[in-house]
Structure 1
Amino acid sequence: MFPDVRLRRLRKGKIRNLVRETTLSVDDLVQPIFVNETIDSAVEIPSMPGIYNIPLSEVANEAKEIADLGIPAVIIFGVPAFKDAEGSSSYGETDVVQEAVRRIKAELGDELVVITDVCMCEYTSHGHCGIVDFETKEILNDPT
């Protein structure tokens, strides 16, 4: 009798789990934190309603509030007070992102995953994501 083989792959739970609709939960979220060392109080970012540049002094409290919501991770974006062609404010021992990470870890330890952004565009005076050789107009990958 037709059919000889009944293709019933979706009747088993493990297969159904593989092909089900996408699910998204708070466990999948990473909240950005924009730490601006030129401000003394939070300032909303006009292009991202509800998202703020916050001063370094508030970063640990902001991270704690995020962790209390159950969000497991943050990514730190720094807004430096000083910009130059080499983006030197991005890699110093006491620069804004490094200090933000220290403050968050001192407050929360391993309770929150802290991710850092390695792009240099926010730190360079020209806005490129790397050190530029202005004579050849090339991004210098190795020094970057």
Structure 2
Amino acid sequence: MTKNFDRHRRLRSSRAMRDLVRENELSMRDFIYPIFVKEFGETKTEVPSMPGVYQFPLALLEEEMQEVKEAGIQAVILFGIPKEKDSVGTGAFHDHGVVQNATRIIKKAFPEILVVADTCLCEFTDHGHCGLVRGEEILNDESLEVLKKNGG
């Protein structure tokens, strides 16, 4: 014995409804390409824990961005690796920090590409935490004040 099944196809009769309930679709417009940019060195270096992913020195950034553009990617997110680190991550909000300089390079050569800057402090601090630390304590409120300087 077959049970009747109501498929509600009439609900998909308008384009607006079909657009609403269709499967997700991705295009190159939806991707943000991560770039790890370092303030030092002359060659790209592979990230050991992420095979095929590289850290690029500022000197090679424009060349990497040309490949990004040719691939049709319209946005990048920058993760900076500074030459020097300290306990409060000042390189993250220095006017001539690695991310700030990388942003200038990209916007000058590729003004149409959207640049997103990571605001986490972990790569800029000598202790590797995303915020400020006193002993074993993470200083959340004080960290927020630093992140505000960093645009976060």
TM-score, with length taken from structure 1: 0.87
The partner residue of 1:73 within 49, 72, 75 is 75
Contact 2:32 2:73 in 1 (8 A): yes
Q: Residues 19-58 of structure 1: matches in 2 within 5 Å?
A: 19-58=21-60
Q: CA–CA distance in 2 between the matches of 1:128 and 1:44?
A: 23
After TM superposition, give the deviation of residue 129 of structure 1 in Å: 0.8
Could you tell me which residue of structure 2 aligns to residue 104 of structure 1?
A: 106
1:114 aligns with 2:115: yes
Which of 44-53 and 64-73 deviates more?
Answer: 44-53
After TM superposition, give the deviation of residue 13 of structure 1 in Å: 2.2
Q: CA–CA distance in 2 between the matches of 1:25 and 1:143?
A: 37
Q: Report SS of the residue matched to 1:75.
A: strand
Could you tell me which residue of structure 1 aligns to residue 137 of structure 2?
A: 137
After TM superposition, give the deviation of residue 133 of structure 1 in Å: 3.0
Gaps of 5+ in 2: 1-6, 147-152
Counting aligned pairs with the same residue, the percent is 42
Pair 1:142–1:74, CA change in 2 (3 A): closer
After TM superposition, give the deviation of residue 15 of structure 1 in Å: 0.7
Could you tell me which residue of structure 1 aligns to residue 3 of structure 2?
A: none
After TM superposition, give the deviation of residue 95 of structure 1 in Å: 1.1
Contact 1:63 1:74 in 2 (8 A): no
Cα root mean square deviation, aligned = 2.0
- Deviation string 1:32-58 (CA, Å, 9 cap, x unpaired) is 110012321011112222221011111
Contact 1:34 1:53 in 2 (8 A): yes
Q: CA–CA distance in 2 between the matches of 1:25 and 1:38?
A: 34
After TM superposition, give the deviation of residue 11 of structure 1 in Å: 2.5
Q: Report SS of the residue matched to 1:141.
A: helix
Aligned AA for 1:34? F
Contact 2:131 2:138 in 1 (8 A): no
Structure whose residues are more often helix by fraction: 2
Q: CA–CA distance in 1 between the matches of 2:74 and 2:33?
A: 9
Q: CA–CA distance in 1 between the matches of 2:54 and 2:41?
A: 11
